[in-house]
Every structure is written in structure tokens, then in C-alpha cells.
Structure 1
Amino acid sequence: MFSTFAIVITLLLLMFFAYRGYSVLILAPIMAILAVLLSGDFLSSIPAYTDVFMGALSSFLLKFFPIFLLGALFGRLMADSGAATAIAKTVVEKLGASKAILSVILVCAILTYGGVSLFVVAFAIYPIAKDLFKAADIPKRLIPAAIALGSFTFTMTALPGTPAIQNAIPIPYYNTNVFAAPILGIVGGTIMFIGGWLWLQTRAKKANAAGEGYGQHDEEDTGSIGGTTKDAEKMPKKTEVSNTHQTSFIVAMIPLVLVIALNAVLTYMIFPSVDFSGLQAQFPDLNIAGSLGLWSIIISLVVACVVLILLNIRHWHNLQKTINRGTYDSMLPIFNTASEVGYGAVIASLTGFLIIRDSILNLTPDNPLISEAVAMTTLAGITGSSSGGLSIALSTLGEDYLRMAVDAGIDPELMHRVAVMAAGGLDTLPHSGAVITLLAICGLTHKQSYLNLAMVTILIPLLSVIVIIILGTMFGSF
């Protein structure tokens, strides 16, 4: 009883202090130790940190650090090369200012689906979105929702092949790949895209009818954290290439297409034809089936980074600075998520967790898809992170869900897709770091923009998860 109470209390405290802006790097271990102490096991508090917490943290780093590192580096290269801006300007020119909302959504979707970090996209696209919305006289308060719809939803969790870390986390647990349940992923992604777009369009029309317009805003605070000081280090106001160099749309798209295409070729053509028996003999503890999907992403991102550098080789002003910044960009996200995984491991070691685990697993014994979706989105909401929620849930319950799926005759690919899409539901509650950062970039508050942002990143995505669970239960994985 006390152990279960300790888990609930520390989860609530984690949400509260994360919302207040305290770093998860210090919050997670403190809350983990507090949970042990509140459970009455004082002697285990230090070993719980040094062995359980740090063991889970290091295990997560071992599996996923290359993807975080390469993803951040690729995003920085896209931004500093001018490729991200070239894609954005081309889409805007083709659609025009009258399609401002659709333009912002599509630009963000193209970049994030190609592997660019959502934070890099937000910083790079906001200035363009601001000008578009002002020209079309659409309320500025809708900009965060438009950026979030294109960056935080269907390209992150649903579309097959997306190199987002959320889509990679289930791979070693379910022995799947990033293209898991592709048709269902496309269906879910379409629901998110069309539903979110239509919602924002209706909000814009309603505002127009009321004569609201773009609104009066102090644009000097744009891009500030907390609305006071500018985060000049993060905002890519200028590229690290020659000022006279203009990247064409086709050249800019090559690395993005390469990430998805090479990943598909490796997954479906090259790796299936390779005999890994020798490798298995050399590394007997290696789970090859659970590693191939990760290897595909790593190779694809490495090749895309190299190609991106070579395409702009004559124009880089300071390539070293770009590479270093890209490397540094990966540090905080990977350690934040790994710390949350460490916290989850400590929680899972407490006796009170057995009650919570059994309650979740027995929620729908005949259909583990529902239980899985509830677990993923709940933990994502608590941590304020889809990757954090996924990692905690799968590290503690992954083996159970795989066993339940096999017993129920459910394809692990379907479990993979539902897990990722569900984690993209409650992950954008008000205390989410991604939400707080996006609103800061746009110079807006929760009161001004959160309702519409929640509609397109929580309600509609969760609706799409329900549809996918129904279709998957009726027709299986496809």
C-alpha cells in the first residue's frame, strides 16, 4: 500500500516540477530515491540509484544514443545548410499566403518526416509562419498548433519509415522495424493530418468572421524563453554557409528522401538477404532481429549526413561549428529520456508496481492493444514526453506485451504501431517540455494557444489510435 502511494506521489511531483521548469536530469533521480524512501526501504535508496537507476540509464544510452546523436546532427546540418529554409520557401510559394495554415503544416511535416529534429523545425519555421499568418490575417495564436500538427503528430508516430526516436524505441522489444504496420500507420496519420488541418481551418474562419485578425503582438519577444530573453544560441537566424549560396528545393530534398529510401532498401532488400550466422557466432548475446531496425536507421542517417555535407561542400562557412552544435544538441534530449527510463526502472523494482502492472495488463486480457495504448499514453502524459513514456512502459512491460500479443495472435508490428501512436497522445499536456519550448519560440502563452494545440496533438491523435486498434483487431496488421 505504501509503495503504491509512493509511486503516485512521486509521479505527481515529477509532473508538477517539470511544469515549473526544473530539469528532468535532477528530478528523475530525486523522485526515484524519494519513491524508495516513501516505500519504507531506507537501506535500498542508494543502491536503487547507483545500480537500478544508472543501470537502466546506461542501457538506454547503449541502445539509442547513436540515433539521438545522428538525428540532432542531421537536423543542424539541414538548418545551417539552408536546406530547411529552401524547402519552406518553395512550399509557401507554391501554396501561397492564402493557404498559410496548410503551408506551415506541410513544411514541418516534410522536414520532420525526413529526420529533422522537431525543435530545429520549430525554430527555423516560426519566422516564416509568422509572416504568412500576418499576410493572411490569421490569428497568431494558431501558429503553435500548426507547427505542432506538422511536427509532433503524424510524422513522429504514424507514418511508416519515420526516423523519429519514438518510432525506433519499440524495435528491440518487438523485433520490428520503423515500417511496422505501414498501411495502418498511413490511415492513422491521415486522420491526424486531415482532422487537425480542418480543425485549424474552422478556428481561422471563426476568428475571421469575428474580425479578430492576426492580433497585436510584441514581436521583440519572439523566440524568447519565458518571454524575456532571446535564445540566440538556439535560433538559427543565419546559416553557417556562404551568404551568397542558395540551396535549391531539389538539392534540399535529396538528404530527406535518402533517409527514408535507404532505410527501406536496407530493411526489405539488403538485410533479409544477408547471412548473419557468422555475426551471431561472434556475438552470441546479440539480438540480431531486434537490432536490424536500429542499424537501418543509423546507416541511413550517417549516409544522409555525409551526402548533405558533400552537396554543400564548397559553401560551408564553418562546418566544424555546425557539427559541434549538432552534437551538443543531442545531449540534453538523450539524457533527459534516459533519466526518465532510470526513474521508471526504480519504480518497477518496487512492490507497489506489481499492483499497478497487473491492473494495466489485466485491463483488457483478450486485447492487449487497449492495455498497451493506455499504458503508453498515460506514462507519456506523466513524463511529458512520448519517448520517455514509451521507454518506461516498454522497459517494464515490453516482454509482457510481446507474450500477450503472441498468445492472442496479434502481430508485433501492430503492437509497435499502436504503442508509438498512443505515446503521441497525452505527451503534450501543459507541462510537456516540447509544448513549453514551442510556445516560448512563438512568444505566446498557454492561455492564448494551448486549447487548439491540445486539440490537434492530443484529442485527434487519440481518436486515430482508437480507429487503428479497431481496424487492427478486425483485420490484423497491414
Structure 2
Amino acid sequence: MVLGIIGILVSLALLITLAYRGMPVIVAAPIASLVALLFSWESVLPAYTEIFMPAMGGFVTSYFPIFLTGAIFGVLMTVTGYARSIATSVISLIGEKSAMLAAVLTTALMTYGGISLFVVVFVMYPLAKELFRAADIPRRLLPATIALGAFTFTMTALPGSPQVQNIIPGTFFGTGSFAGALIGIIGALIIFGVGMCWLEYRSRSLRRKGEHFDSVESSPVTAKDSAVQEEEHTGVPDPTNRLIPFLPLLTVFVVNFSCTLFIFPALDWDYLSEDKYGGIGIDDRSALWAVIVGLVAAIFVLLLINARHLGLLFQRIADGAKNSMYPIFSTASEVGYGAVIASVAAFAVVRDSVIDLGGNALTTSVVATSITAGLTGSSSGGMTIALNAFGDQLREMAVADGISMEAMHRITAMAAGGLDTLPHSGAVITLLIVCGLSHRQSYKDIAIITIVGPLIAVGVLLAAVSLGIF
């Protein structure tokens, strides 16, 4: 048993190391799984084909529509120039002197509007770079600024977020994407406040030391990314009306909100209990379906408004479909790794240790989700692994403890968005590559924004719920 636990720790360390050194998680996760199996004297091939692959496939089956529609939506927003127009509108409203705030709000608007996180990073980099250049803000703060808008409060805290991190808890707790609205809004304000205070403090501090925008050189790799961004926008004229580009984002929110709170509850879903539908209930799929409908509706709105350029847009839809593959299979590979770890005998000791911590259901969920998200470097992957392992027990504990499923949903999602951005995180590595900066130059600020801020928010809200304030 001791050897098996050592194997789990070694495999986790290997996964972190391989990811940090740039190996795709799709490859790193099976290798790390192999190590854990060998230490536990488990059969390798059966574990791979009967445990790893079904878990990986199950994640793809459940969440591929979100990744696909989000990526297509992001590409269309870029091609039509709507993303750039939204950024320009926000900047003109706030002013270039508040460059960091403008960049954060623009990024947040796109993320909350349904554009996938990876797409937002590529869209925002060239825009935020010019903002920083005009305001002479140190370049090293670029990644943290984009991360605050994309990887934190809009991803997990704000109710109704169409990001997959806000959808996953609903499939385990039977809740919708607007679950725990007040808790989420308070958490979002805490994360946003901590992040902006840090960015402003760091900007002033670095300027006092004589650092300017051009004090740190960026990597040449970003030139290629910017060129790709410009190429994607070629062919469709910029929108002349500043309000129209906001319509697709508004569509995602309105349709998601309407389906979750009004349309779906008013419909008769009794037929879902039939065997061919797997005996599910509407609560099991409501959050997922509402976001899918919202994103599809927004895509149709985009196509309708730009009907004269349908030929070019249909070509770019293929690009969006391709862009969805790497993110979902990377996350799914981590879920497969988690399933393998959960299958070895030594994991039962780890699982029981977490359950026996003595905390209530919410505390247990936060701890389990935070640890797995940190170890895998993925909020969605870590949360899926944790809830697959503990979900049923957590629901039973929550009922016994008198904790609402809405609070479980919201705070568990926020917990997944804390330790997920440790240095080996694929999202962090991608962000730094796009911005042309290194961990040494920018990771400290990313960590404060994406780890410290969310952990403070989760701690405050966990205490408030435990004390019965919510």
C-alpha cells in the first residue's frame, strides 16, 4: 500500500514536470498513469483500454458541444471584427489611462460572453499590448492582466458563466449555471478587487524602479500569433455600429438565463426517464443544455448579421472546430489519468483521508477540488476528477449538513479556479507563450491574481456559508 501511495505521488510529480517542460498533456497523462500502475503492480493494458479511455471518452461525450460551440463562436467574433470593436468601445469608454482596467473588463466581457478561454487569450494579446504601450505600463504585467479577466471570476464565480468550469458542478449537484448567484457575485467582487489592487500596486512599484513597457523584451513567437490574428480578421469589413458587436454576447446571456430559469422548468421532461435517455432528469443536464442553446443562438445571430459574408464565415467555422480539439482532449486526458489513479488500491487511503478530515461537505469539496486542480494544472479536469471520486458522498454529506446544492456548486467551482494555475498549468504556459514572456518575468503576478485572489474569496465564502450567513 505504501508503495502504491508513493507511486501516486511520483506520477503526479512526473505529470507536473512533463507539462511544465512543454509536453502535451495528451501524452503526459498516459505516461504518468503508467508510472502509478507500475508502482501498484496493476495490469497496464487493461487499465488503459478499460479505465483511462472510457473516462477520457466520457468527458468528451459530455462536454464536447461546449468546447466546439465556444471555439466556433470565438473564431466568428474575431473574423467579423466584433471582438476588436468591443475592445475599442470599452477602451474609449474607460480611457487609455486606465489601460489595465480596460483590458480586464474587455477580457471578462468576452469570457462571460461565451468565447472560450484559449481563444480569448489570442484575441486579447495584441489589443492589450497596444493599450500597455500607449500607457507605458510594464510589459511583464500583460499576462496577469489578461488572466484576471479570463481565468478567474468570469470563469467560475459569476452566475450564468457559459464556461465549462461553471457547467461541471451542475451535472453532479443537479444545479443550473446561475446557482448561488449572490455567493458568486460577492466572490467575483473579491477576486476582481484583489486583482486590480495588485495590478495597480505593481504598476506603480515597477515604474518607481524605472521599468517601462519596453524594458522587458518579448519573445519573437508572438509576432507569428499577431500575424495569425490579423489574417483571421481579413475579408470582413469592421462593424460600423459600435452596439451590434455586443448583440452576440448578450444573446448568450439572455438565452442561457431564459432556458435555465423559465423555459426548461416550464417544459415536460418526464420522457427523460426512459431507458434510451439513460434515466436522467432535467436537473442533470439543464446547465449544459442551456449554455449550448445560448452559444448556438449567438452563432446564428452572428451569421445572420453578416449574411453577405457567409462564404468566408463558413470557412472559418472549420477553423473553430479544429481549435476545439486540443483543449478538450487535453482536459479529457487528465480526466482519464484521474480515473486510473482512482482505480488503484492506494487511492482508497487518500480518499478516506480527505473524507475523514472532519469538515463539512462544502469544506471537503473545496479541499478535494483544490488539490486535484492543482496537481493536474486544470480547473475543469481537476474538478471532474474530484467530483467523480467524491460526488455521491458529497451530496449525501451536504444534505446531512443542511448545505444547499447551490452553495456547493458555486464554491466548488471557485475552488477549482485557484490552484489550477500553478506553474505547470497548460493555460499559464499558453498565456506566457502568447505574450512572449517567461515564468521568471511574469508568473509572480499571475499567481497573485489567479491563486491568492480566488483562495481569499473561497475562504471568506466558505466561512460565511459554514456560519449560516448564506
- Taking structure 2 as the reference length, the TM-score comes to 0.96
State the distance in 1 between where 2:23 and 2:94 align.
Answer: 41
Q: Secondary structure at the match of 1:251?
A: coil
State the distance in 2 between where 1:381 and 1:16 align.
Answer: 13
* Residue in 1 that maps onto 2:294: 300
State the distance in 2 between where 1:240 and 1:317 align.
Answer: 14
Q: Deviations over 1:110-141 (max 9, x none)?
A: 00000112222221221221121122121111
State the distance in 2 between where 1:51 and 1:247 align.
Answer: 55
Kindly tell me: are residues 4 and 218 of structure 1, through their superposed partners in 2, closer, same or farther at Cα, counting changes over 3 Å? closer
State the distance in 2 between where 1:246 and 1:315 align.
Answer: 13
The one-letter amino acid paired with 2:386 is A
**Are 1:75 and 2:69 an aligned pair?**
no
The answer to whether the Cα contact below 8 Å between 2:235 and 2:312 also exists between their aligned partners in 1 is: no
The answer to whether the Cα contact below 8 Å between 1:240 and 1:319 also exists between their aligned partners in 2 is: no
State the distance in 1 between where 2:67 and 2:83 align.
Answer: 19
What is the aligned length? Answer: 468
State the distance in 1 between where 2:222 and 2:346 align.
Answer: 43
CA deviation after TM superposition for structure 1 residue 107, in Å: 0.4
Kindly tell me: are residues 187 and 68 of structure 1, through their superposed partners in 2, closer, same or farther at Cα, counting changes over 3 Å? same
The answer to whether the Cα contact below 8 Å between 2:79 and 2:236 also exists between their aligned partners in 1 is: no
State the distance in 1 between where 2:218 and 2:356 align.
Answer: 52
- Structure 1 or 2: more helix by fraction: 2
CA deviation after TM superposition for structure 1 residue 220, in Å: 7.0
State the distance in 2 between where 1:213 and 1:75 align.
Answer: 32
Q: Secondary structure at the match of 1:161?
A: coil
Q: Structure 1 stretch 235-244 or stretch 45-54: which is displaced more?
A: 235-244
- Equivalent in 351, 354, 362 of residue 345 of structure 2: 351
Q: Secondary structure at the match of 2:380?
A: helix
Q: Structure 1 stretch 308-317 or stretch 288-297: which is displaced more?
A: 308-317
Percent identity over the alignment is: 46
The answer to whether the Cα contact below 8 Å between 1:81 and 1:316 also exists between their aligned partners in 2 is: no
State the distance in 2 between where 1:213 and 1:58 align.
Answer: 48
The answer to whether the Cα contact below 8 Å between 2:373 and 2:379 also exists between their aligned partners in 1 is: yes
**Are 1:337 and 2:331 an aligned pair?**
yes
CA deviation after TM superposition for structure 1 residue 295, in Å: 1.1
Q: Deviations over 1:273-296 (max 9, x none)?
A: 112123433646232221122111
State the distance in 1 between where 2:436 and 2:196 align.
Answer: 22
The one-letter amino acid paired with 2:307 is I
State the distance in 2 between where 1:343 and 1:119 align.
Answer: 22
Kindly tell me: are residues 249 and 378 of structure 1, through their superposed partners in 2, closer, same or farther at Cα, counting changes over 3 Å? farther
Kindly tell me: are residues 357 and 395 of structure 1, through their superposed partners in 2, closer, same or farther at Cα, counting changes over 3 Å? same
Kindly tell me: are residues 358 and 80 of structure 1, through their superposed partners in 2, closer, same or farther at Cα, counting changes over 3 Å? same
* Residue in 1 that maps onto 2:204: 205
Q: How does 1:203-352 map to 2 (within 5 A)?
A: 203-218=202-217, 221=220, 223=222, 230-231=224-225, 235-240=228-233, 242-246=235-239, 248-281=241-274, 283=276, 285-288=278-281, 289-316=283-310, 318-352=312-346
The answer to whether the Cα contact below 8 Å between 1:241 and 1:315 also exists between their aligned partners in 2 is: no
* Residue in 2 that maps onto 1:36: 37
State the distance in 1 between where 2:449 and 2:217 align.
Answer: 26
Q: Secondary structure at the match of 2:271?
A: helix
CA deviation after TM superposition for structure 1 residue 415, in Å: 1.0
State the distance in 1 between where 2:409 and 2:57 align.
Answer: 23
Q: How does 1:10-409 map to 2 (within 5 A)?
A: 10-41=11-42, 44-218=43-217, 221=220, 223=222, 230-231=224-225, 235-240=228-233, 242-246=235-239, 248-281=241-274, 283=276, 285-288=278-281, 289-316=283-310, 318-365=312-359, 367-409=360-402
Q: Secondary structure at the match of 2:162?
A: coil
Q: Deviations over 1:210-252 (max 9, x none)?
A: 332223354672516xxxxx3478x422345635342533111
Q: Structure 1 stretch 183-192 or stretch 19-28: which is displaced more?
A: 19-28
State the distance in 1 between where 2:307 and 2:452 align.
Answer: 44
* Residue in 2 that maps onto 1:437: 430
The one-letter amino acid paired with 2:385 is I
State the distance in 1 between where 2:225 and 2:232 align.
Answer: 16
The answer to whether the Cα contact below 8 Å between 1:2 and 1:38 also exists between their aligned partners in 2 is: yes
Q: Secondary structure at the match of 2:307?
A: coil
The one-letter amino acid paired with 2:267 is V
CA deviation after TM superposition for structure 1 residue 352, in Å: 0.4
State the distance in 2 between where 1:101 and 1:75 align.
Answer: 22
Kindly tell me: are residues 473 and 249 of structure 1, through their superposed partners in 2, closer, same or farther at Cα, counting changes over 3 Å? farther
The answer to whether the Cα contact below 8 Å between 1:223 and 1:443 also exists between their aligned partners in 2 is: yes
Following TM superposition, where does structure 1 have runs of at least 4 consecutive aligned residues deviating by more than 6 angstroms?
Answer: none
Q: Structure 1 stretch 332-341 or stretch 179-188: which is displaced more?
A: 332-341
CA deviation after TM superposition for structure 1 residue 460, in Å: 1.0
CA deviation after TM superposition for structure 1 residue 391, in Å: 1.2
The one-letter amino acid paired with 1:200 is L
The one-letter amino acid paired with 1:136 is A
Q: Secondary structure at the match of 2:231?
A: coil
Kindly tell me: are residues 237 and 317 of structure 1, through their superposed partners in 2, closer, same or farther at Cα, counting changes over 3 Å? farther
The answer to whether the Cα contact below 8 Å between 2:56 and 2:332 also exists between their aligned partners in 1 is: yes
Q: Secondary structure at the match of 1:265?
A: helix
State the distance in 2 between where 1:218 and 1:413 align.
Answer: 46
The answer to whether the Cα contact below 8 Å between 1:113 and 1:163 also exists between their aligned partners in 2 is: yes
The answer to whether the Cα contact below 8 Å between 2:56 and 2:335 also exists between their aligned partners in 1 is: yes
State the distance in 2 between where 1:471 and 1:312 align.
Answer: 48
- Taking structure 1 as the reference length, the TM-score comes to 0.94
The one-letter amino acid paired with 1:325 is D
* Residue in 2 that maps onto 1:462: 455
Q: Deviations over 1:70-121 (max 9, x none)?
A: 1111111111111100000111111111101101000000000001122222
State the distance in 1 between where 2:32 and 2:129 align.
Answer: 40
* Residue in 2 that maps onto 1:9: 10
Kindly tell me: are residues 448 and 219 of structure 1, through their superposed partners in 2, closer, same or farther at Cα, counting changes over 3 Å? closer
The answer to whether the Cα contact below 8 Å between 2:80 and 2:237 also exists between their aligned partners in 1 is: no
Q: Which runs of 5+ in 1 are unaligned?
A: 225-229
Kindly tell me: are residues 247 and 283 of structure 1, through their superposed partners in 2, closer, same or farther at Cα, counting changes over 3 Å? farther
CA deviation after TM superposition for structure 1 residue 378, in Å: 1.3
The answer to whether the Cα contact below 8 Å between 1:87 and 1:253 also exists between their aligned partners in 2 is: yes
The one-letter amino acid paired with 1:383 is T
Kindly tell me: are residues 34 and 345 of structure 1, through their superposed partners in 2, closer, same or farther at Cα, counting changes over 3 Å? same
